[in-house]
Amino acid sequence: MAAHSASSFLVIVSLAVLVIFTGSSSAKLSTNFYSKSCPKVFITVQSVVHSAISKQPLQGASLLRLHFHDCLPNVINSN
């Protein structure tokens, strides 16, 4: 019986620690992250994407797939 209560206590403590650390690890995202370190990032990315799509039209679909299939699940899983 003592082993059962000790394992139950360990499970409860582990869950409490998990809840405490999970709640404090939220991402601090901001829309102006690059405004000081790289102010022309959006213009640069836009010109590179437009150039790539004009050379090879399927690049647009590839970039969309990359964003939604590779990036979006990571965002959803981190919440």
The DSSP secondary structure of the chain, one letter per residue, reads -HHHHHHHHHHHHHHHHHHHHHHT------TTTTTTT-TTHHHHHHHHHHHHHHH-THHHHHHHHIIIIIIHHHHHHH-
> Tens digit of pLDDT for each residue in 9-55?
666 767 666 666 665 555 677 788 888 888 999 899 899 989 988 99
Residues catalogued as catalytic = 69
Q: Does 70 count as an annotated binding residue?
A: yes
Residue 20 is predicted with a pLDDT of 64
Residue 27 is predicted with a pLDDT of 63
> Tens digit of pLDDT for each residue in 70-79?
655 555 555 5
